[in-house]
Chains A and B, each alone.
Chain A
Amino acid sequence: MLAIIVKRIGNAALVMLVVAFIAFMIFQFLGDPVQLMLNSQATQGDRDALRIRLGLDQPVIMQFFTFVVRALHGDFGVSFRNQREVMSLIAERFPATFELVMVSTVLALLIGIPLGVFAAINPKNLAARMARMVSMIGISVPAFVIGIVLILIFSVQLGWLPAFGRGEVVQFGTWSTGLLTPSGRLALIMPSISLALFQISFVMRLVTAEMLEVLRTDYIKFARARGLPDRSVHFRHALKNCMMPVVTMTGMMIGDLIAFALVTETVFQWPGMGLLFVQAVMFIDIPVMAAYLMIVSVIFITLNTIVDFVYLAVDPRLRQAGSGGGGHVR
């Protein structure tokens, strides 16, 4: 068990190193930073001084080493565009995105899983069919359309919910949260729903498909033949066996949303990382792009590692390190 954990973390570190190398290569290939940073009046002496100050006179391998060491300290340099520490820029924006994504993911799981189970065990029920229809819409309509429709109804027409922004936030050190103020919570409703709608539909369809598969297995048939009540057969025996793909997809979805929630963030003017990234691309702000790449990778790798550990917790067969199954007694 411990061996597996160490191995997984080792794998994660290795992947991070590769990503760091790619992020580092962006600096090498997207033009000369000295050219980008100095104006055309600068002398050759100025250029050389800056080159030495930035460490660009060092061999490439040393530059990479310095980059990794700095990245480990959270130092990604200074944004070309607004001359501020990249890390503090991201730290400012990250909590907003993270909060939005987590709320919509929790919504998706709390609503999607029960709906999926319901649709699988009552395939002919009218409500279940309706839910499946609506989930089709949820999957195919893009989040920004839903966002705009929501704004139209609840902000413009009814005036119940704020159309943009995060509302009031409470600051905990570098972390800001809107969950503790009434206006923050109100502001969170529409963006999280428009993000969650796709996820709810997706989780529901995934759970339904998996449940239908599992309900056909021999162990479910045998559980029924032993006279176990439906509740136990469905939730204790069947649902647990459906959880692996749900865990996998949830992990990927969270990563995906944190990295690319920018459409929803733009619609609701949500001060998250999406906006930061769009600006960085437009101004060829290399340090911000590199840091963004690194941070998104860290998030994905962390989530995948967590997913792997959840697998281990759910499925006892995976806890046997190294043996390809079929081992009898440990």
Chain B
Amino acid sequence: MELTDLTIKKAHQGLVNGEFSALELCKAYLDRLKEKEKEISSYLTVVEDFALSQAKKIDDMILEGRDLPVLAGIPCAIKDAILVEGIRCTAASKILENYIAPYDATCVKKLKGEGAVILGKTNMDEFAMGSSTENSAFKITKNPHDLTRVPGGSSGGSASGISANECVFALGSDTGGSIRLPACFCGTVGLKPTYGAVSRYGLIAFASSLDQIGPMAKTVEDCKIVFDVISGKDEMDSTSVEPKLKVQSEKLKVNELRIGVPKEYFIEGMEKEVERVIKKVIKKYEELGAKIEEISLPHTEYALACYYIIALSEASANLARYDGIKYGYSVSDKPASLMDVYLQSREEGFGPEVRRRIILGTYALSAGYYEAYYLRAQKVRALLRKDFDEAFKKVDVILTPVSPTTAFKIGEKINDPLKMYLSDIFTVSVNLAGLPALAIPCGKTAPHHFAKEVRKQKRFNKEKIFSSGNKNLLQSGGGLPIGFQIIGRPFEENVILSLGEIFEKYGRAH
């Protein structure tokens, strides 16, 4: 087995057993990264020297015979919206192009405390605004399963990095699906924790009532390991809480669980392959003994409109801090007035999607429109949350697809903002309700007519064809990952993670 194929658990065992050193592990990832970055572009910043020095420290610990925390020496990547002291942090925006993080985000501090080795900062949509990572001011990240397609967004670089074995795990942030959608498109696991479960101190704010940091990894178990490290109350984030409900995963019995399947999440226009694979997952859980119940979340069709009003309004307020004065990009030729410093710095520093959202959010909050838009959206949000409260009286978890489609082509939606927003249709409700949700890969699209062509060739190397970018072979989109989502009650991350582990154990092999 290659060092860069390892999960956290396996890499940890290897380090403990002395099969390889932390330095060797780190170097293997840096080599892999150098090779893969040419085609994938997951990272905005790679901190080779910093990574090596961190790894060296872990090897010293091993030499001294000290106990090794499970994340010690494990190479990871951090979304570029999360601060790592002394390292450039851009949020993929020109306005923060030269911003050096003056402190560690709490979750980063916790990872460092466990000895995790940070390799670099991953690409994303500018200020996490987007569903494809195409809104980055710096580079386009490719989906490792098909280089002509997007990795999803906004935590696209974190997902593609894991999928291309450029890191063992990564941190992302999720405001309306930004962990789950890229995890789904790239065939990795991603957890959006309950609002408040992970401190957001040191996360560059997008929409404060929705934002949440979470882990992304190759397996559910790995996500669980990272979540356990980064979660908990932090006095630097007044919205963070200590989880009160600790459900012991060993006690979880799948035959005592009721899984709700909301009819509103199986809509017209959904890709047939997605529907087929998700239904198979539901059937698998049923075979394992879970009770499947059809449920209704009646306000689902209003979730996206509600989400955009709230997210954009909050974004317009949060992004007011970029003024060309305190930090970040400032217009270089001397404008006549202070007002012009604001206008021009923000005009030149922000990309098109961010500007669009600031304007929309400002409009929704402006005099005369506040009640019609923001206040109304908050009320609809309360109704959406009530839908979930009602549903959770009848079922323990809710199972849905992550997205109605698989990864789309680069450029396909970038000129149609509304079409791009619709990518988040199955993920935004969870943020509005503040719930935890886990995205898990569960299969790939069948290669259709593509298969016929390929079956003729006996020595068919799947990976080679997918990464060759040969458009003729990829027309049908075969081989693209499909993911499902398990939504839990507030602070019941352990339940959804355990249910995910059960699927990984029993559901995959068939």
A binds B: no
